């Protein structure tokens, strides 16, 4: 893959930073020697030793990151020895000890190789779905389906197109390979065992380097729930394995979830480290793989920076001149809003007892410097993924993945206030599934859950990424559409209403459809109302749609304008 201009610029910046670090090492070694020369063997040597330890601590933590692993090892050994001297009640360094220290400091320069090894760079994830190209309801994602059962193709095509996916059908792996010569899909759906000649699609896929090189997500469909087939799917990197007869709403929900993960905003990391070169190196490494990383310039600004940058992970050095990492972690944990913010100490400290003690004071984990670029990226990614999962569990409904009642109300109020501040309208819509009690009573709550999940998936697929969606109650939903005029919102909601009515649900061969009623209001018609007021008005419009016969969109207007609009 050819690097972009931005990626090349980051690589160049990393090399410049590495070269600058190596150029400065002779001056650093000279400073260490000068400090050692000030030792007199008396108690007043503590201040000198303390500065020596701090400088060696930085070298121990940074050398490996810039291709000087031996320097890190030697500096750590000296740092630990000086630490032991400082912990002693009485300090008395005799002449032989001082000469030995001088020799070891002079030997540090010999640990730097003539051609320091360039660290292996982590790769930016390669996803077929470009976030910048998939941000509105007008964008259509292309799903390729390899299936030779005509009826199943028809059913899947109809259902997927209702969710705004464009479906292209192939009858064999050879047809698929031919199409791939000119383009790739956004997602590939493959029947494991094609009927024509009982072709094993997984074997053909595994034998095809062209197919294996696909960057798009892959999902298998199968009538066989056997372990070897599932293992083969895993080996091919499949992100789903669905059994026939297909639960189509569940399949669509998984497809939508995959695309949402690809379009998720960049992961945000705050770096707190007094070693400016190392901190900048880590920032560049994380930025190069698509994350947003920021270095905290002043520890006194930690809370303001967290409030504005909203990091999902804090990487913090343990030992810093002004404040210890444990001090800053403790301050962060004093704020209720950040009790779940992941904090990881990143330090050259190797003493296990001290690491454990530090972790007991506000942090979630401890990583030891020097840390490779690959390990740094992997550690940051995995922790942020888990943090996002935790946040979803706290704020989102488990069935639909949409915001819970309290969270969507808060979002509605926030966007209403923002709309007033920037002078742009926000539209709020309340949606309710018609006759939903009949669905539950007739087909059972499990089928009812499928219907609820389907409207949630449809909303996520048809609305913009900037729109906010929540489950307000059992079968009732709220959509907040920032900077959206009433006329445009009406068209989008009508499209959602029509597509939901076209979906096919069923149980044991019994098929049925559902409809929704929608009430909507635009803040432009309610200039004095905040979020709660707009929600009440949208609810009134919803009941107007219910009274009007259901399966329709009704727009609400303030009481003093109704005579004109009606």
What is the rounded CA–CA span in Å between residue 371 and residue 389? 26
What is the Cα–Cα distance from 191 to 150, expressed in whole angstroms? 12
The C-alpha atoms of residue 279 and residue 313 are separated, in whole angstroms, by 15
Query: Can you tell me the distance from the alpha carbon of 108 to that of 132, in angstroms, rounded to the nearest whole number?
Result: 49
DSSP-assigned letters across all residues of 253-322: HHHHHHHHHHTPPPPEEEEE-S-HHHHHHHHHHHHHTT-EEEE-S-GGGHHHHHHHH--SEEEE-S--SS
* 353 among known catalytic residues: no
Q: Helix-strand-coil percent breakdown of the chain, rounded to 5?
A: 55, 15, 30
Active site residue: 475, 476, 540, 563, which one?
475
Interatomic CA distance for residues 164 and 383, integer angstroms: 33
Encode 242-265: b = buried (16+ Cβ within 10 Å), e = exposed.
Answer: beeeeebbebbbbbbebbeebbee
Cα–Cα distance between 177 and 439 in angstroms, integer? 43
Q: What are phi and psi of 423, to 5 degrees?
A: 75, 30
**Token digits of residue 162:** 């209702």
- Within a 13 Å sphere around the CA of 555, how many CA atoms are in the beta-carbon half? 21
| H helix intervals, 396-444 | 405-422, 436-443
Euclidean distance between CA atoms 115 and 18, whole angstroms: 12
The answer to whether the beta carbons of residues 552 and 467 sit under 8 Å apart is: no
**Separation CA 506–CA 510 (nearest Å):** 5
Q: Give the per-residue SS3 of 438-501.
A: HHHHHHCHHHHHHHHHHHHHHHHHHCCCCCEEEECCCCEEEEEEECCCHHHHHHHHHHHHHHHH
Structure-token pair, residue 484: 């959206």
Q: How far apart are CA 244 and CA 191, in angstroms?
A: 10
Give yes or no for a contact between 186 and 160, defined as CB atoms under 8 angstroms apart.
Answer: no
Cis peptide leading into residue 370 (ω within 30°): yes
**Helices of type H across 143-193:** 150-162, 173-179
Cβ pair 337, 311 in contact under 8 A? no
In the 3-class helix/strand/coil scheme, how is 67-96 assigned residue by residue? CCHHHHHHHHHHHHHHHHHHHCCCCCCCHH
**Residues 146 and 173 sit within 8 Å (Cβ to Cβ):** yes
Which residues have a catalytic role annotated? 475
């Amino acid at each position: 893959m050819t690097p972009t201009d931005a990626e090349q610029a980051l690589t160049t910046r990393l090399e410049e930073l590495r070269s600058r670090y190596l150029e400065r090492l002779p001056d650093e070694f000279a400073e260490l020697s000068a400090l050692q020369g000030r030792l007199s063997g008396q108690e007043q040597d503590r201040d000198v030793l303390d500065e020596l330890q701090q400088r060696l601590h930085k070298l121990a933590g940074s050398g490996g990151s810039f291709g000087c692993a031996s320097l890190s090892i030697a500096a750590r050994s000296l740092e630990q020895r000086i630490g032991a001297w400082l912990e002693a009640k009485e300090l008395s360094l005799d002449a032989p000890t001082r000469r030995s220290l001088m020799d070891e400091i002079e030997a540090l320069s010999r640990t730097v190789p003539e051609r320091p090894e360039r660290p292996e760079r982590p790769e930016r994830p390669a996803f077929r779905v470009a976030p910048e190209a998939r941000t509105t309801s007008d964008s259509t994602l292309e799903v390729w389906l390899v299936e030779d059962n005509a009826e199943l193709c028809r059913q899947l095509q109809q259902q997927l197109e209702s969710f705004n996916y464009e479906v292209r059908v192939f009858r064999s792996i050879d047809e698929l390979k031919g199409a791939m010569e000119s383009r790739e899909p956004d997602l590939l759906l493959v029947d494991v065992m094609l009927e024509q000649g009982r072709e094993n699609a997984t074997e053909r896929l595994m034998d095809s380097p062209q197919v294996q090189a696909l960057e798009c997500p892959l999902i298998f469909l199968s009538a066989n729930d056997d372990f070897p087939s599932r293992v083969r799917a895993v080996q091919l990197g499949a992100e789903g394995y669905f059994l026939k007869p297909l639960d189509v709403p569940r399949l669509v929900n998984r497809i939508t979830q995959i695309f949402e993960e690809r379009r998720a905003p960049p992961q945000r990391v705050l770096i707190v480290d007094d070693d400016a070169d190392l901190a900048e190196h880590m920032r560049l490494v994380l930025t190069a793989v698509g994350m947003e990383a920021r270095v905290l310039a002043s520890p006194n600004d930690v809370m303001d920076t967290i409030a504005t940058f909203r990091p999902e992970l804090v990487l913090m050095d343990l030992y810093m001149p002004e404040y210890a990492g444990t001090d800053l972690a403790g301050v962060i944990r004093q704020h209720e809003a950040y009790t779940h913010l992941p904090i990881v100490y990143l330090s050259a400290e190797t003493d296990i007892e001290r690491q454990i003690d530090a972790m007991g004071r506000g942090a979630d984990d401890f990583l030891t410097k020097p840390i490779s670029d690959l390990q740094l990226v992997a550690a940051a990614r995995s922790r942020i993924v888990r943090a996002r999962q935790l946040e979803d569990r706290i704020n989102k409904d488990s069935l639909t993945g949409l915001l819970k009642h309290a969270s969507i109300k808060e979002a509605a109020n926030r966007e209403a206030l923002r709309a007033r501040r920037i002078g742009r309208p926000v539209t709020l819509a309340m949606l309710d599934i018609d006759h939903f009690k009949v669905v539950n009573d007739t087909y059972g709550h499990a089928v009812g859950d499928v219907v609820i999940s389907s409207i949630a998936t449809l909303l996520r697929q048809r609305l913009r990424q900037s729109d906010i969606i929540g489950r307000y109650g059992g079968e009732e939903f709220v959509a907040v559409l920032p900077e959206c005029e009433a006329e445009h919102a009406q068209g989008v909601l009508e499209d959602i209403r029509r597509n939901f009515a076209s979906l096919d649900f069923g149980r044991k061969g019994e098929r049925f459809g559902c409809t929704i009623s929608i009430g909507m209001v635009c803040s432009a018609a309610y200039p004095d109302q905040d979020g709660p007021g707009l929600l009440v008005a949208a609810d009134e419009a919803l009941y107007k749609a219910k009274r009007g016969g259901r399966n329709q969109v009704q727009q609400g207007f303030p009481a003093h304008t109704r005579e004109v609009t009606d």
